A = this chain, B = another copy of it.
């Protein structure tokens, strides 16, 4: 169904014309054309340039009129004042889809608002053109081409991201792409990203309509500064949200925030105030933090929703356990004292100095198989908790390997490096049963290691599907918001 939506063509062009690129790499269009190459895009690419013969190896044309076909998509990175003329030429050529990257159309420049937006809107209407922007970064599709061939249509994301079903629509370019530069975020992956900029022609509501029926979108992330069609947005959010959770960053409400917005997208008032009421009514997961936005999406991306808000805490260190418990209850989670029966069961495998009530502090005296597999399984089976946070999945071998790198230690040590295959096998053996149980019982489990996200053991855990955090602040807060969403969803489903 989403294939019939007009945005589908923006995400799956077989041919693209690009204005503003060069070989020097010093313009946004130049970066875009390089991103196409980097991501293995195999459609036609037509740079439009007055002087250059070729751009990045692609034959350049002096104007759109000279291009040998009507390109599926046109990307424009040129000064605002020449854009109306370019729009007209594209219209004459028969172009129907434009990504307008350039800014300077609606922003308050000096003290007056210019009228270029109205001008390009009129031209677009005249020729039946839909365009995204201005003042945006464009579109990204990680499911370009057949499902089994991993290809993307990517003009704006610098990292090659793994495929997932998390899609973004954003009024800020940065929030649609720059948040992906760090390896910590790569586990989340990405499906589509639509940077809508000033929304002169296509807005967030269009994106939601597309994502609603898109089989490659299961979680939606949005960044909003202004809602142009508040009522329709609310209707759609209500419809989508019980099936596909929507995570939203909405900026506004403070004086400085509003001043920033006015300068940024030119947002004046609109019906932006409606948004303060929308999240609660539509069950939108709202956050003020970009890191939390990514964390929530990562946890949701496993497709495992908790059934309630009772948290089980497993730790091998008292401090983090206590902090998780304390923050959890401050954020609306419940950390129930486990039943006597369950405590007895836990005692059978825990060391004598452990604590059993919840948090379960099993100390460092712990058999790894118990720690990674048996403890979570007992909790999951018990029916007494809905989600688990587990602190202390430390890479012991990484620590040992570091010691062995000191000659004075290596000379005397009665332990040794373990071959990579052994560590690989160990990680799989320790992690997979718990990942399976997490699905089976629909109980999300979040792991925390104090070590770097890219140490060998941490990488092994991530490779096996572990949702890994480095410190214990973020998983609690993200999980608390997900539990609020679950509560909303349950209530909605009851009503329907």
Please give, as numbers and ranges, the residues of chain B lying within 8 Å of A103 by CB-CB distance: 353, 363
Q: How far is the CB of A143 from chain B (nearest CB, A)?
A: 22
Asked if A112 is at the interface (CB within 8 A of a chain B CB), the reply is no
Contact B409–A37 (Cβ < 8 Å): yes
Q: Which of A182-240 contact B (CB under 8 A)?
A: 182-183, 223, 225
Determine the chain B residues whose CB is within 8 A of the CB of A450 once the complex forms: 174, 178-179, 181-182
A420–B411 CA distance with the chains assembled, in angstroms:
37
Q: How many residues of A contact B (CB 8 A)?
A: 99
A470: nearest residue on chain B (CB-CB)?
B182
Q: Interface code A311-351, partner B: CB below 8 Å = 1, 0 otherwise?
A: 00100011111110111111000110100000000000000
CB of A254 within 8 A of CB of B325, answer: yes
Cβ of A419 under 8 Å from chain B: no
- A366 at the B interface (CB under 8 A): no
A30-49 CB contact bits vs B (8 Å, 1 = yes)?
01001001100000000000
Q: Is A25 an interface residue (CB 8 A)?
A: yes
Q: Does A400 contact B (CB under 8 A)?
A: yes
Task: Indicate whether A355 reaches chain B with its CB closer than 8 angstroms.
Answer: yes
Q: Which of A166-182 contact B (CB under 8 A)?
A: 170-175, 178-179, 181-182
By the criterion CB–CB under 8 Å, are B291 and A471 in contact?
yes
Q: CB-CB < 8 A to A472: which residues of B?
A: 290
Task: Give bound CA distance, A406 to B25, whole Å.
Answer: 14
Residue among A26, A183, A414, A453 facing the most chain B CB atoms (10 A cut-off): A414
Which among B23, B28, B263, B289 is the interface contact of A361 at CB below 8 angstroms? B263
For the complex formed by this chain, how many copies does it contain in all? 2
A174 touches B317 (CB 8 A): yes
Among B288, B320, B337, B415, the residue within 8 A (CB) of A24 is B415
Interchain CA distance A335-B171 in the complex, whole Å: 22
Q: Are B24 and A414 in contact (CB under 8 A)?
A: yes
Contact partners of A259 in chain B: CB under 8 A: 325, 335, 337, 357-359
Residue contact B265 to A318, C-beta cutoff 8 Å: yes
- Chain B's nearest CB lies how many Å from the CB of A136? 11
How far, in whole Å, are A321 and B181 apart by their CA atoms in the complex?
18
List, in ascending order, chain B residues with CB within 8 A of A289's CB: 327, 473
- B326/A252 in contact, CB under 8 A: yes
With A and B bound together, what is the CA distance between A451 and B174 in angstroms?
12
Which of the residues B158, B322, B335, B353 comes within 8 Å of A399, measured between beta carbons?
B158
Q: Are A249 and B323 in contact (CB under 8 A)?
A: yes
Task: Report the minimal beta-carbon distance from A473 to chain B, rounded to whole angstroms.
Answer: 4
Contacts of A158 in B (CB 8 A): 399, 402
Please determine whether A172 and B264 come into contact, CB atoms closer than 8 angstroms: no
Q: Does A257 contact B (CB under 8 A)?
A: yes
Residues of B within 8 A of A182 (CB): 450-453, 470
Chain B residue nearest to A56 in the complex (CB): B412
- B288 contacts A256, C-beta separation under 8 Å: no
Partner of A317, one of B178, B414, B453: B178
A68 within 8 A of B: no
CA distance A292 to B451 in the complex (A): 17
Residue of B nearest to A359 (CB): B260
A253 at the interface (CB under 8 A from B): yes
Instruction: Determine the chain B residues whose CB is within 8 A of the CB of A308 once the complex forms.
Output: none
Q: Cβ of A400: which chain B residues have Cβ within 8 Å of it?
A: 25
How distant is A157 from chain B, measured CB to nearest CB, in Å?
Answer: 12
**26 CB-based A-B contacts, threshold 8 Å:** A22-B414, A24-B415, A25-B414, A31-B399, A34-B403, A37-B406, A37-B408, A57-B408, A175-B319, A181-B451, A182-B451, A182-B453, A249-B323, A255-B335, A256-B325, A256-B334, A257-B322, A260-B313, A260-B325, A260-B361, A261-B322, A264-B361, A265-B318, A288-B330, A291-B471, A292-B473
Given A251-B319, A261-B322; 17 other pairs, CB 8 A cutoff: A34-B403, A34-B409, A37-B408, A38-B403, A56-B412, A181-B450, A251-B322, A254-B325, A254-B329, A257-B325, A257-B329, A259-B335, A260-B326, A260-B355, A260-B361, A290-B320, A292-B473
